[in-house]
């Protein structure tokens, strides 16, 4: 569905897609990546952020590139075959299942998002290899028990075996008053030993005033948000064994040749990333 179709939904189907009267972080992210699955309200909000920090588009691309590297790493080097991606967002090729099933066709992937429009594009998330399985459920990331119950009901992922939990560009939309650390623990406590957590998180460490203005832009438009320091991001991995090099800026995590430190400044990236293993 292209931009015209998205606009058609915006004009005629507001009863189907609730919340089109205010921007959604997933659709803004799609806009940052150059996608067309967004509405005028999303574009207006995204442009306001871009005006404050033009590098936000770089942050989005770095986040996507990290997801590809981390997914390939845990599939290839850690032998992981099950994945739960919470906060999937608008499908953007290559999607997670395409990355890991390229490594091992038998990989199984469950996608989770709370934006109804993602369901419209779910066929792109379900077209996996014959050997593997993919699934999608609409659920709220702030309720880990409900998310995992929905995942279990789908039968794609066996929660009795190790799983990779991906929380990419999600936790900065869960302020402290919604207990983000408790949410992460709620997920990891119910996953089998040997499971992994992969996450990314925006930070104001390198441009605090700019990021304060960005957060204000999101909040004013109805999206709670909060950036965190490196120490606060590291805290999400309490009780887990961090994979080297630990929590670092996303472009520094196992960079590919020509894309690592020195190519982008820390301020432009402003995104921490890390992978931890439940022992």
**Domain assignment of residue 57, yes or no:** yes
Decide if pLDDT at 25 tops 50.
yes
pLDDT in tens, 236-247: 999 999 999 999
**Domain assignment of residue 14, yes or no:** no
Question: How many percent of the chain have pLDDT more than 90?
Answer: 81
Lowest mean pLDDT across 1-5, 110-114, 203-207: 1-5
Cα–Cα distance, 274 to 152 (Å, whole number):
26
**Domain assignment of residue 19, yes or no:** no
> In this structure, what token pair is assigned to residue 141?
């990331």
The full DSSP string for 73-119 is HHHHTS---EEEEES--S--SSPHHHHHHHH-TT-EEEEEES-HHHH
pLDDT in tens, 52-91: 999 999 999 999 999 999 999 999 999 999 999 999 989 9
Average pLDDT over residues 170-186: 98
**Domain assignment of residue 3, yes or no:** no
| Whole-structure pTM value | 0.90
Cα–Cα distance, 157 to 136 (Å, whole number):
11
**Domain assignment of residue 201, yes or no:** yes
Whole domain around residue 112: which residue ranges?
25-278
Position 257 scores a pLDDT of: 59
Decide if pLDDT at 274 tops 60.
yes
Q: What is the average pLDDT value for the chain, to the nearest integer? A: 91
Interior/surface letters 222-248, b for 16+ CB within 10 angstroms, e for the rest: ebebbbbebebbbebbeebeebeeebb
Q: What angle do CA 143, 147, 148 make, to 5 degrees?
A: 120
Average pLDDT over residues 120-135: 88
Contact at 8 Å (CB) between 85 and 111? yes
Q: Looking at the 3D structure of the chain, how many domains does it have? A: 1
Indicate which CATH number applies to the domain containing 121: 3.40.50.150
**Domain assignment of residue 16, yes or no:** no
Q: Peptide bond preceding 245: is omega within 30 degrees of 0, i.e. cis?
A: yes
**Domain assignment of residue 15, yes or no:** no
**Domain assignment of residue 18, yes or no:** no
Position 262 scores a pLDDT of: 57
> Beta strands of 115-245 (E only): which ranges?
133-138, 164-167, 196-202, 240-242
Cα–Cα distance, 168 to 173 (Å, whole number):
11
């Amino acid at each position: 569905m292209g931009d015209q179709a998205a606009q058609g939904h915006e004009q005629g189907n507001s009863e189907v897609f609730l919340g089109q009267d205010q921007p959604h972080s997933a659709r803004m992210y799609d806009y940052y990546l150059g996608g067309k699955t967004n509405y005028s309200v999303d574009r207006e909000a995204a442009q306001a952020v871009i005006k404050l920090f033009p590098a936000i588009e770089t942050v989005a691309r770095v986040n996507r590139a990290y997801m590809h590297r981390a997914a390939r790493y845990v599939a290839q080097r850690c032998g992981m075959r099950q994945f739960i991606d919470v906060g999937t967002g608008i499908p953007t090729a290559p999607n997670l299942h395409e990355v890991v099933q390229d490594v091992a066709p038998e990989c199984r992937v469950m996608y989770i998002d709370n934006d109804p429009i993602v369901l419209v594009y779910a066929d792109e998330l379900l077209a996996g290899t014959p050997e593997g399985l993919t699934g999608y459920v609409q659920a709220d990331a702030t309720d880990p028990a409900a998310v995992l119950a929905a995942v279990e009901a789908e039968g794609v992922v066996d929660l009795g075996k190790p799983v990779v939990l991906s929380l990419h560009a999600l936790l900065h939309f869960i302020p402290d008053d919604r207990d983000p650390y408790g949410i992460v623990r709620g997920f990891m406590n119910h996953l089998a030993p040997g499971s992994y957590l992969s996450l990314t998180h925006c930070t104001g460490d390198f441009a605090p005033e700019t990021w304060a203005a960005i957060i204000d832009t999101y909040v004013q438009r109805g999206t709670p948000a909060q950036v965190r320091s490196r120490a606060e991001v590291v805290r999400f991995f309490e009780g887990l064994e961090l994979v080297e090099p630990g929590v670092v800026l996303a472009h520094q995590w196992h960079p590919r040749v020509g894309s690592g430190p020195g190519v982008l400044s820390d301020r432009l990236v402003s995104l921490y990333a890390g992978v931890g293993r439940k022992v």
